Amino acid sequence: MQEPEIKDENEISEENSKVYELGYLLIPTIKEEDAPVNYGNLKELLVSFNGEIISGEMPKMTSLAYSMAKVTSNIKNKFNTAYFGWIKFTMNSQKVLELKKHLDLDPNIIRFLILKTIKENTIATKRFARGEMYKRPAMKENAKNETAIPINKEEIDKEIDALVIS
């Protein structure tokens, strides 16, 4: 059983590598200067697992949508903020399992998520998507206001007249 497994690993490392993304939350007790150090360590870890880094983002301090708990040495710590960062990389699909086991033991990581993804940048589309969404309603609102104002004046005049007469 052992021999074929070893052969497989060598073959797979070249052929069977897939694109993955690792998103993670680092504990907020790390100093801001040390966050890039952690990022560097993670990169080294990925390279040591024969991973090839495509892109990534430095861990940034973010407030969490809900409080998370992590048990370290039998003490339950609650966190409302964390450093969120991500790295995109290619790796052999079997090595990723080892990576996951390794990250499970990391005391600095609250949570992490490994996903299959695509090589292309997926975030850059955000800007123009926003712009289009905001322009359309603004145009319509202006058009409505311009036409609506004169009608209102006439109506008000009529109402006032009606009140004065009564």
Partner 1 sequence: MKQDYFSANNIKYIDYKDVEILKKFLNPNGKIMSHKRTGITAKNQRQLASAIKHARFLGLLPFIVK
Which residues of the chain form contacts with partner 1 (CB under 8 A)? Answer: 23, 25, 62, 64-66, 68, 82, 84, 86, 111, 113, 115, 117-118, 120, 122-123, 125-126, 128-130, 132-133
Q: How far is residue 103's CA from residue 99's CA, in Å, rounded to a whole number?
A: 6
Q: How far, CA to CA in Å, does 28 sit from each of 39, 75, 93, 142?
A: 14, 16, 31, 46
Smallest gap from residue 119 Cβ to partner 1 (A): 10
Smallest gap from residue 99 Cβ to partner 1 (A): 17
Q: Which is nearer to partner 1, 115 or 143 (CB)?
A: 115
Q: How far is residue 124's CA from residue 126's CA, in Å, rounded to a whole number?
A: 5
Smallest gap from residue 158 Cβ to partner 1 (A): 38
CB–CB of 27/70 below 8 Å? yes
Smallest gap from residue 62 Cβ to partner 1 (A): 7
Q: How far is residue 135's CA from residue 133's CA, in Å, rounded to a whole number?
A: 6
Task: With H, G, I as helix, E, B as strand and everything else as coil, classify residue 109.
Answer: strand
Q: Which is nearer to partner 1, 50 or 77 (CB)?
A: 77
Q: Which is nearer to partner 1, 63 or 142 (CB)?
A: 63
Reported in sequence order, the residue ranges of 49-108 that DSSP labels E, i.e. its strands, are 52-72, 75-92
Q: Which is nearer to partner 1, 31 or 128 (CB)?
A: 128
Task: With H, G, I as helix, E, B as strand and everything else as coil, classify residue 91.
Answer: strand
Smallest gap from residue 118 Cβ to partner 1 (A): 5
Q: Which is nearer to partner 1, 7 or 130 (CB)?
A: 130
